[in-house]
Amino acid sequence: MKKFLNSAAAYIFIILGALLASFSVACVLLPNDAIDYGTAGIGIIINKLTGFNLSICVILTFIPFVIGGFFVLGWKFSVKALIGSVAYTVGLEIFEKIPFELNTEHFLAVAFGGALLGLGLSLILKNGGCIDGSEIFANIVLRKITDKTGRNYSMMPILVGFNLCVYIAVFFLIDRNASLLSLLVYVVATVIIDRYTDHFEAIKQVTIITKDPDTLISNIRFELNKTCTIIDSRGAIAGENKTLICYVNYFELQKLRDIIQKNKGAFSTVSTIDEIIR
């Protein structure tokens, strides 16, 4: 029952976060000549260039990334991502029709809208969801790089590069001021997200203490295609055990939690890694 309630609460917070993000975009950012970032930003660009329905442009842009996320991050993540993206697009459709105007300077409106957007996205990310395909794209690229090199890398360079392409497109295809205001949205939103998700774009070190390491190692290898460092350890009460150290990114961390929870008696901690020196 507890597991069911936690799962239900996660979906509720994802929907609330998606609605908050869509309110920020439809009622604050777009009226003040700024756009969302990531794949939602691509959908907004298509909407402005073609005049097609905004919600349809956004959801059609996101769906290919959800499909890619299914193969890289699993079906649980994909379901949460799909629910979040549907709630986001429905919110855009509803809030676009609400007569709301923030009577202040563009700079202040965009800063406020970016903070609301960051808060909504934080709720989604904290509960294992996603409404932006740039994070999924970064995971797919990192998986390919890790498979070839055996090394872990931060998502930050890929996310920055992806969004830089979006802002360059806005600069040349829509408006120069809009691209600069949208860049401010990205900065404000990511500051809020980093504050509440403990740097989601960084590498996470997971330390697991267990008496049954073989099952965990096998599951981590099979489901995440990751390896572990194994250290002999001893508890003052529990006695002999093994300490496993594994490095994953923020989205893989959700799947690793599920793996650990299946192994009763395992104790784990998570910390953020700022840099890996090789």
Domain harbouring 249, CATH code: 3.30.70.120
Are 178 and 258 in a shared domain?
no
Q: Is the pLDDT of residue 1 over 70?
A: no
CB 118 within 8 A of CB 190: yes
Are 213 and 100 in a shared domain?
no
Model confidence over 238-266: pLDDT tens digits? 788 999 999 998 888 888 988 888 887 78
> What's the pLDDT score for residue 5?
81
Residue 127 maps to a domain: yes
Boundary of a domain, candidates 197, 227, 250? 197
Boundary of a domain, candidates 141, 170, 197? 197
Give the number of domains in the chain: 2
Are 190 and 209 in a shared domain?
no
Are 34 and 157 in a shared domain?
yes
DSSP code per residue over 181-244 = HHHHHHHHHHHHHHHHHT-TTSEEEEEEEES-HHHHHHHHHHHH----EEEEEEETTTEEEEEE
Helix, strand, coil share of the chain (percent; to 5):
70, 10, 20
Are 136 and 237 in a shared domain?
no
Residue-number span of the structural domain to which 114 is assigned: 2-197
State the average pLDDT over residues 103-131.
88
pTM tops 0.75, yes or no: yes
Residue 229 pairs in a beta bridge with 245
H/E run at residue 9:
helix 2-23
State the average pLDDT over residues 26-47.
91
Angle in degrees, 0-180, between the axes of helices 250-262 and 54-73, rounded to the nearest 10:
50
CB 124 within 8 A of CB 78: no
Residue 162 maps to a domain: yes
Are 143 and 10 in a shared domain?
yes
Residue 278 maps to a domain: no
Longest dimension (CA), the chain: 67
Model confidence over 52-103: pLDDT tens digits? 999 999 999 999 998 888 888 788 888 898 999 999 999 999 998 887 767 6
DSSP secondary-structure letter at 275? -
> What's the pLDDT score for residue 95?
92
Are 193 and 219 in a shared domain?
no
- Give 196's pLDDT tier (boundaries 50, 70, 90): confident
Boundary of a domain, candidates 139, 163, 197? 197
